Structure 1
Amino acid sequence: MAKKTYHGVTNDKERSKQKLVDAVGVIIRTQGYTGLNASNVAKNAGVNRRLINLYFGNLDALVETYVRGKDYWVAASGNAGELMEENKGNDTRQILETLLVNQLDYFFKEEEMQKIVLWQISQRSQIMFEVAEEREKLGAAYFELTDPFFKKTDVDLRAVAGLLVGGIYYMVLHAKSNDSLFCQIDVNSPEGLDRIKNAIGAILKDTFRRAEIANNKN
């Protein structure tokens, strides 16, 4: 009978590494990026802070390990990616509306993503730059589908989408931080969220209609 190999030390190392990675997520959700220091991470993980340097090299590398393991934008897009595959360029307005509404719902519920966006706009870092690049890749795949429809018009769908995404982020962050109205809308209420979703649909409907009119004139 073959002798079993002892994996105790290896398992302990992997458990400690995972505890440290998990601790980064907890701190981001509860304290934001300003709480990410070696002492906080180690205390939350319940391990010696020296293990951060031993296993990851430094704190930045540990944080990068955590962030790279998360796919915020794909998760926020919900089923929009499936719609893009299924439609292959058909009904791109509905795809974008679905994408934006899914982002609104996800961003409203996910405190961690709220903290990540705050981090992006508060501090320049390589990690956050790369997270933003992942978001842009998802957007680029969608705009490739819409470009033929808007190519011969003066309608700037990218600018419209940018304003809508920026509005979603700011209104949600404002509501979560201050619990106050925004343009007399209670974003923290189901009725307020529905008003924003309806406005997204109306803006996109108007945007695509203007492009359709321009295309008919050409």
Structure 2
Amino acid sequence: MERKSVAGSIRNKERSKKKFLDAVGKILRTKGHAALKVNGIAATAGVDKKMIYTYFGGIDGLIDEYIRSQDYWSKVTVDEIERIKPKLDDGGRSFIEEMLLSQFDYVYKSREAQKLLLWRISESRKSLRKLTDAQEENGEYIFKLLMDPHFKENSEEVRSIMAILVSGLYYLNMYAAMNGSIFCGIDVDTSKGREKIKKAISFLVNQTYEKL
């Protein structure tokens, strides 16, 4: 009986945590980050607000966990990269191409990720700073493992190209979601337009590896 009670308690805790995280996402999608308050989150989740402090240590801990669950590049952790075991003999070309294509699709499909991006560029917050630091740490691991050994003295140029590609793909999706889908004559909100962008991603990655 005691074992069942413990298992039930764990399941209840996980369900309640998920309700809180889902509530953060719902509020972020519908009302924006300014509406993320303890009382509103608890009411949306249908769980006593005291549990936010019990499970997450407070609203900052809850938001931290939510942010980590939604950001694409935060999911590309050192452990995940080692699990995937990307090919080393191509200098990371296939891995980087796949990551960029996946990022493009992920942000397009996730309203929460879009709202999170808007939040990151509109407000200074400790949890958002942590997110940026985590991204940089994961990115540095990728560069040092795959790209720096391949490009050697040209590694800084490659980092600059990657910065433009990652941020550009973020912007295209944000632009399509918020203010219109046509950019440079390409409709980023159609499958045809998105395929053109994906072909451009592959072209730019391949050109980077061939020319540098």
In structure 2, how many angstroms separate the alpha carbons of the residues matched to 1:64 and 1:179? 31
Kept in 2, the 8 Å contact 1:76–1:106? The answer is no
Residue 215 of structure 1: aligned partner? none
Q: What is the DSSP-based 3-state SS (H/G/I as helix, E as strand, rest coil) of the residue aligned with 2:182? A: coil
Letter in 2 for 1:205: N
Cα 1:100–1:59, aligned 2, differ >3 Å: closer, same or farther?
same
The TM-score, its normalising length taken from structure 1, stands at 0.78
How many residues of Structure 1 are paired with residues of Structure 2 in the alignment?
208
Cα 1:155–1:177, aligned 2, differ >3 Å: closer, same or farther?
same
In structure 1, how many angstroms separate the alpha carbons of the residues matched to 2:109 and 2:136? 22
Cα 1:146–1:75, aligned 2, differ >3 Å: closer, same or farther?
same
- Displacement after TM superposition at 1:197 (Å): 1.0
In structure 1, how many angstroms separate the alpha carbons of the residues matched to 2:70 and 2:99? 19
In structure 1, how many angstroms separate the alpha carbons of the residues matched to 2:3 and 2:152? 65
Residue 174 of structure 2: aligned partner? 173
Q: Map 1:1-218 onto structure 2 (within 5 A).
A: 14=13, 16-49=16-49, 51-53=51-53, 56-68=56-68, 72-73=72-73, 75=75, 81=81, 85-144=85-144, 145-153=146-154, 156-211=157-212
Unaligned stretches of 5+ residues in structure 1: 212-218
Kept in 2, the 8 Å contact 1:76–1:103? The answer is no
In structure 2, how many angstroms separate the alpha carbons of the residues matched to 1:132 and 1:108? 20
Q: Compare 53-62 and 127-136 and name the one that shifted more.
A: 53-62
The TM-score, its normalising length taken from structure 2, stands at 0.80
Cα 1:143–1:52, aligned 2, differ >3 Å: closer, same or farther?
closer
- Displacement after TM superposition at 1:33 (Å): 1.6
Kept in 2, the 8 Å contact 1:28–1:35? The answer is yes
Kept in 2, the 8 Å contact 1:24–1:63? The answer is yes
Kept in 2, the 8 Å contact 1:39–1:49? The answer is yes
- Displacement after TM superposition at 1:107 (Å): 1.2
Kept in 1, the 8 Å contact 2:68–2:74? The answer is no
**Percent identity of paired positions between Structure 1 and Structure 2:** 34
In structure 2, how many angstroms separate the alpha carbons of the residues matched to 1:206 and 1:12? 50
Cα 1:16–1:82, aligned 2, differ >3 Å: closer, same or farther?
closer
Greater Cα radius of gyration, structure 1 or 2: 1
Unaligned stretches of 5+ residues in structure 2: none
Letter in 1 for 2:102: N
CA RMSD of aligned residues (A): 3.3
In structure 2, how many angstroms separate the alpha carbons of the residues matched to 1:88 and 1:112? 33
Cα-to-partner distance string for 1:122-172 (whole Å, 9 max, x where unaligned): 111111111122222332222121112322348700000110111100110
Q: What is the DSSP-based 3-state SS (H/G/I as helix, E as strand, rest coil) of the residue aligned with 2:189? A: coil
Kept in 1, the 8 Å contact 2:72–2:106? The answer is no
In structure 2, how many angstroms separate the alpha carbons of the residues matched to 1:6 and 1:201? 53
In structure 1, how many angstroms separate the alpha carbons of the residues matched to 2:130 and 2:165? 22
- Displacement after TM superposition at 1:191 (Å): 1.1
Cα 1:159–1:58, aligned 2, differ >3 Å: closer, same or farther?
same
Q: What is the DSSP-based 3-state SS (H/G/I as helix, E as strand, rest coil) of the residue aligned with 1:156? A: helix
